């Protein structure tokens, strides 16, 4: 037998029904209002509001189209909102300079470390990354394991012909490191990587390929007449793994036509099924240790001592020829004390010695780093325009080269605004979704619901790379707000003390090759 409902029971039921049917007000952590969203995928900018929840992009709507409960509203006032930039080749020590303010101020939200064959010399890179995680980091970090470092850790070091046991040990260490790393970096122009044979590199690339990771290579020789040979060496590894040319440059090559020749070579390789990509930094000077100038037989301290004693005349002649070919002593600008800010030509005057004697008797191959003005703007700029080329800084918070503080600002300021050779949407695509695909990052690099909320707000007209060769440690201007994983990391020139960067984990899924 049924009992009639009392009046009170009826009204309770109606109230419950109303609660169940009406849309509850959605809640978000942050709303970026009135933005011009450049999504990073190459699509044209569009006016929108961006909603963020729990560090991820939750929704995009038309401007003011939604009523929601929001903790923090940022008014973009019609400025561009783009994905944070991804630097595919960077340097630095997160335990020394964990804030990475030089990168945040250029709109960079993800960096890569362990480059050029050199990662921290520890048996367990996973434990080292835990330490970085604990310390906190201002930007996201995608780690690489260095081939030169693996050679050191396995005792192979400078040996051109490792035993099969040593090689096996190196392959195992690589495989273990790839649990935490996005790939293997090689520095074949540096010690000890330069001692590696083709067989060794192919064995390593098979491991990298099996784990669907990337080989990021500072190639064996970047001189213009050696570039094809260097690329071919890397292409052989591309039979087994995705490959990437770090800071593609032609040392003393010239002209757009030469750039197009190189780009055609890369295109042909891609058509043949090799997943090859490259990055370029927007400067015509490189920067590295002076040992780069010395011959193979005089690069290390030990070899140099012997060469200095037994092959002095030959060494002098080699250096004269090499420096002359690299645009002369005025084109080498030293970046380490006590020579900081002086060229080799300046030192010739100051010390009253020819540069080859300065290099041998005063500085030595390990004695300094320098910027080398050895690239051609027309050639490098043409490379940069190619759709399969991304951008790197190859810089660090402390390096004495403007690229560490200026690269990403310079792309916007110079290539997009002043020269007008890159569309803003295309420049952003190269530095975000394309860079993400190179690294195999699937959860960031574009503004889409579900992606990590790494974002940068800016007016392209206001962007300035202030870093110069004489004064390279100067933050970029114009990137007004930078969010890392949904948290404001940088706003109006101020950095947030809470470091919201993550040590990123490579995906365990097989990844798409870089396009």
Residues that bind Zn ion (CB under 5 A): 116, 218
CB nearer Zn ion, residue 112 or residue 500? 112
CB neighbours of residue 124 within 10 Å: 12
Calpha distance 360→366 (Å, rounded): 11
Calpha distance 222→379 (Å, rounded): 14
CB nearer Zn ion, residue 186 or residue 205? 186
324: tokens are 């002359």
Q: How far is the CB of 185 from Zn ion (least distance, A)?
A: 9
Calpha distance 290→470 (Å, rounded): 18
- Compute and round to an integer the Cα radius of gyration of the chain: 26
Is the separation of the CB atoms in 414 and 282 below 8 Å? yes
Q: How far is the CB of 427 from Zn ion (least distance, A)?
A: 23
Q: How far is the CB of 246 from Zn ion (least distance, A)?
A: 5
CB nearer Zn ion, residue 195 or residue 244? 244
Q: How far is the CB of 218 from Zn ion (least distance, A)?
A: 4
CB nearer Zn ion, residue 31 or residue 247? 247
* DSSP secondary structure letter of residue 393: -
Calpha distance 90→108 (Å, rounded): 11
Calpha distance 189→303 (Å, rounded): 16
CB nearer Zn ion, residue 50 or residue 371? 371
The values of phi and psi at residue 370, to 5°, are: -155, 160
Q: Which of 40, 141, 110, 107 is nearest to 465 (CA)?
A: 107
Q: Which of 147, 165, 269 is nearest to 218 (CA)?
A: 147
Q: How far is the CB of 282 from Zn ion (least distance, A)?
A: 16
Q: How far is the CB of 292 from Zn ion (least distance, A)?
A: 10
Residue reference for tokens 């995928």: 41
Listing DSSP states for 182-196 in one string gives: SEEEEETTSTTGGG-
Calpha distance 190→148 (Å, rounded): 8
Residue 207's contacts (CB-CB under 8 Å, 6 or more residues apart) are 171, 174, 175, 178, 184
Q: Give residue number: closest CB to Zn ion.
A: 218
Q: How far is the CB of 422 from Zn ion (least distance, A)?
A: 23
Q: How far is the CB of 190 from Zn ion (least distance, A)?
A: 8
């Amino acid at each position: 037998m049924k009992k009639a409902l009392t009046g009170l029971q009826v009204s309770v039921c109606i109230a419950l029904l109303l609660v169940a049917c009406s849309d509850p007000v959605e809640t978000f952590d942050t709303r970026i209002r009135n933005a011009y969203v450049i999504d990073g995928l190459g699509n044209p900018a569009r006016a929108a509001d961006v909603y963020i929840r729990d560090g991820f992009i939750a929704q995009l709507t038309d401007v003011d189209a939604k009523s929601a409960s929001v903790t923090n509203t940022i008014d973009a006032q019609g400025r561009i909102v783009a994905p944070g930039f991804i630097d595919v080749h960077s340097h630095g020590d997160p335990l020394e300079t964990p804030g990475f303010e030089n990168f945040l101020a250029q709109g960079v939200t993800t960096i890569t470390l362990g480059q050029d064959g050199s990662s921290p010399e520890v048996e367990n890179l996973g434990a080292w990354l835990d330490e970085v995680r604990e310390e906190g980091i201002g930007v996201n970090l995608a780690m690489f394991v260095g081939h030169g470092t693996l050679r050191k850790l396995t005792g192979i070091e400078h040996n051109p012909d490792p035993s099969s046991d040593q090689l096996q040990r190196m392959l195992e260490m690589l495989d273990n490191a790839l649990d935490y790393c996005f790939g293997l970096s090689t520095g074949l122009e540096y010690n000890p990587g330069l001692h590696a044979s083709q067989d060794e590199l192919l064995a390593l690339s098979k491991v990298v390929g099996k784990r669907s990771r990337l080989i990021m290579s500072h190639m064996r020789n970047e001189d213009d007449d050696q570039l094809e040979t260097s690329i071919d060496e890397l292409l052989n590894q591309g039979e087994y793994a995705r490959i990437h040319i770090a800071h593609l440059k032609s040392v003393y090559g010239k002209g757009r036509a030469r750039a197009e020749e190189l780009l055609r070579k890369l295109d042909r390789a891609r058509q043949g099924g090799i997943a090859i990509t490259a990055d370029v930094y927007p400067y015509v000077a490189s920067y590295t240790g002076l040992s780069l100038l010395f011959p193979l037989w005089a690069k290390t301290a030990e070899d140099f001592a012997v060469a200095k004693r037994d092959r002095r005349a030959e060494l002098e002649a080699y250096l004269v020829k090499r420096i002359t070919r690299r645009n002369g002593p005025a084109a080498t600008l030293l970046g380490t004390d006590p020579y900081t800010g002086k060229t080799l030509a300046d030192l010739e005057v100051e010390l009253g010695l020819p540069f080859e004697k300065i290099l041998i008797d005063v500085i030595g191959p390990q004695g300094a780093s320098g910027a080398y003005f050895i690239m051609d703007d027309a050639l490098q700029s043409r490379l940069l325009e190619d759709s399969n080329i991304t951008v790197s800084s190859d810089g660090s918070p402390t390096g004495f080269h403007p690229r560490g503080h200026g690269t990403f600002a310079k792309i916007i300021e110079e290539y997009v605004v002043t020269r007008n050779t890159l569309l803003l949407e295309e420049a952003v695509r190269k530095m975000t979704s394309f860079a993400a695909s190179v690294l195999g990052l699937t959860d960031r690099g574009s503004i889409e619901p579900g992606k990590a909320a790494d974002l940068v707000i800016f007016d392209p007209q206001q962007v300035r790379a202030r870093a110069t060769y004489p004064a390279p440690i100067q933050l970029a201007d114009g990137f007004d707000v930078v969010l890392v994983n949904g948290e404001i990391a940088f706003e109006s020139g101020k950095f947030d003390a809470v470091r919201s960067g993550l040590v990123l984990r490579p995906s365990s899924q097989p990844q798409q090759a870089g396009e």
